[in-house]
Amino acid sequence: MTIDPLAEAETGPVIPSTGVGVLDRAVAVLDAVKLERMTASELARYLGLSVPTAHRLVTSMVTHGLLSRDEDGRLRLGARFSLPFLEQIASPVLTDLQQETGETAQIWVRRCEHRLCLASVDSAAELRASVPVGTLLPLTAGGSAAIVLAEPTTAPGWVESISRRTPGLCSVSAPVRRQSGETVAAVCVSAPVLRVGDTGPGALYGDAVIGAAARLSEALDRT
């Protein structure tokens, strides 16, 4: 049975009050889109908010990854709600990717204007590219994962970066996407330039990175 929350629009749900109005409204928005995907204007009607207030709230929640828009522009729970599951399934995928390439494999997610290292499996080589899990880097600092997260596109493929963020290091990344096409993460292989040579990381590891990203995308679609 399909739930139609807009059928209740004349009375609307009661928004619990904790005294922190913005937080109360944000939780009410999350509860609403869990029942039915809606546009910001439909949310305004359903929750009894003004349209400008609903649009401002939704814009901020999308920026913070609490909400996302599907292909029709309707709102759903955002990438932040996929992260616990993504962390859970990341380890075997990254381990396989590291073993296949011999280099460090990572998953990065967007945090406003930064990227966050969600999981990493380091290369066994003494000379390797490595960042701790939890590392936060500005998207403007560059790197292939930053490009994927800052400039999401529906086109398939990989993006490579050579000495863009750190001289002597290179990487190749591919997007992890939901069925709607929304990019929720970037799978990345990083390596020293001297070990990759003139061939470049994309030619060497691009197909492996795309395969790992596809595995994670398919797993997310099943949730």
185: Cα within 13 Å, side-chain hemisphere: 30
Q: List beta partners, residue 177.
A: 183
pLDDT, residue 112, reads 80
Q: How confident is the model over 40-83, as pLDDT tens digits?
A: 999 999 998 899 999 999 999 888 888 888 777 888 887 777 67
Strands (E), 50-178: 67-69, 75-77, 104-111, 114-121, 136-138, 159-162, 169-177
* Residue 36 pLDDT level (bands cut at 50, 70, 90): confident
Domain with CATH 1.10.10.10 in the chain: 5-77
Range 82-221 classified under CATH 3.30.450.40: yes
Q: 5-77: which CATH number, 2.170.130.10, 1.10.10.10, 1.10.4160.10, 1.10.760.10?
A: 1.10.10.10
| pLDDT of residue 4 exceeding 50 | no
Whether pTM exceeds 0.75: no
Q: How confident is the model over 171-190, as pLDDT tens digits?
A: 999 999 887 777 889 999 99
